[in-house]
Amino acid sequence: MTKILVIEDEAALQNFLSRELMFEGYEVIQATTGLDGWAAWQNDAQIAVILLDWMLPELDGLSLLKRIRTTSNVPIIFMTARDYVSDKVIGLDQGADDYVTKPFEIEELFARIRLVLRKQKKAVDQITVGNVHVNRATHEVIYQAQRINLTTREVTLLFYLMQNFQQVVTRDEILTNVWQDNYDNQPNIIDVYIRFLRNKLVTLPLVIETVRGVGYRMAGATHESNPEN
């Protein structure tokens, strides 16, 4: 089920959108402030689309958009009562995928959601983080015009970690999304492949951190980075 994060502080509109989206078959996560929306985004790696109000308490929509765009290309649709061309341009330039002006028809919003999901699906096999480009379909990993040689499984694991950049993924989530239960009852296979990746990514601006008792997190490499912490 496609998961949508709705970040909207107006209670009536939040409830209406959530109800209509659920009727349409989407799973909905609600947030009413910018900071709540940021926390919800960080805590759920399966969010497929974000509906984002411009005027939010604690952290405004534009600032939240910029923060999310530092780590993710998740489709974001702005919702706002501000019908100024300059505002639309600013939102789109900062990385919004689409823009609807309140009040809007729910069918128009559904159509815009379907559109950004189609676009996302076309790009789903490619990802770039820290100038590291991975194409899952062709099994290519490129950094600074140099190809990094990885096995098919290593590419799949790297791609999944990059999809969840700076977010913790559990061992069960890795097994489900990378091995899809085809691991011959050897759950320690994750440790083996994480070690393989760490050895091969040592010159790249990425590091795989161990979150003890939970799983792993892909982060940007720094001089102080310690993958075991």
**Could you tell me which residues come within 8 angstroms of residue 47 by beta carbon, excluding any fewer than 6 positions away?**
3, 4, 5, 29, 40, 41, 74
Q: Is there a single domain that holds both residue 60 and residue 158?
A: no
Q: Are residues 132 and 211 in the same domain?
A: yes
Average pLDDT for the chain: 88
What pLDDT was estimated at residue 224? 41
Range of the domain at 9: 3-122
Domain total in the chain: 2
Mean pLDDT, residues 124-139? 85
Furthest C-alpha separation in the chain: 57
Instruction: Note whether 36 and 136 are same-domain residues.
Output: no
CATH number of the domain encompassing residue 116: 3.40.50.2300
pLDDT tens-digit profile of 26-46?
A: 999 999 999 999 999 988 888
Token reading at 125: 């096999």
Model confidence band, residue 226 (pLDDT cutoffs 50, 70, 90)? very low
- The contacts of residue 28 (CB under 8 Å, 6+ apart) are 3, 4, 5, 6, 17, 18, 21, 22
Q: Tell whether 29 and 101 lie within a shared domain.
A: yes
Beta-carbon contacts of 208 under 8 Å, excluding residues fewer than 6 positions away, are 161, 194, 197, 198, 201, 216, 217, 218, 227
Per residue in 76-99, pLDDT tens? Answer: 999 988 666 666 778 788 889 998
* Rounded distance between C-alpha atoms, residue 210 and residue 105, angstroms: 46
Between 220 and 58, residue with greater pLDDT:
58
Higher pLDDT, 129 or 86: 129
Spatial distance between the Cα atoms of 13 and 58, rounded to a whole number of angstroms = 19
Residues 150-188 have pLDDT tens digits of 999 999 999 999 989 999 999 888 988 888 766 666 668
Query: Is residue 133 within a helix (H) or strand (E), and if so which, with residue range?
Result: strand 132-135
Q: Measure the CA–CA gap between 190 and 23, rounded to whole angstroms.
A: 38
Let me know if residue 183 belongs to a domain: yes
pLDDT the model gives residue 222: 56
In this structure, the answer to whether residues 79 and 101 fall within a common structural domain is yes
Give mean pLDDT, residues 127-138: 87
d(CA 164, CA 160): 7
> If we measure between CA atoms, which residue out of 48, 50, 45, 61 comes closest to residue 9?
61
pLDDT of residue 172: 87
Which of 87, 122, 157 corresponds to the end of one domain? 122
Q: In this structure, which amino acid lies at residue 182?
A: N
Question: Is residue 197 a contact partner of residue 217, using CB atoms and an 8 Å limit?
Answer: no
Give pLDDT, residue 22.
97
Q: Which residue has the tokens 């760490």?
A: 198
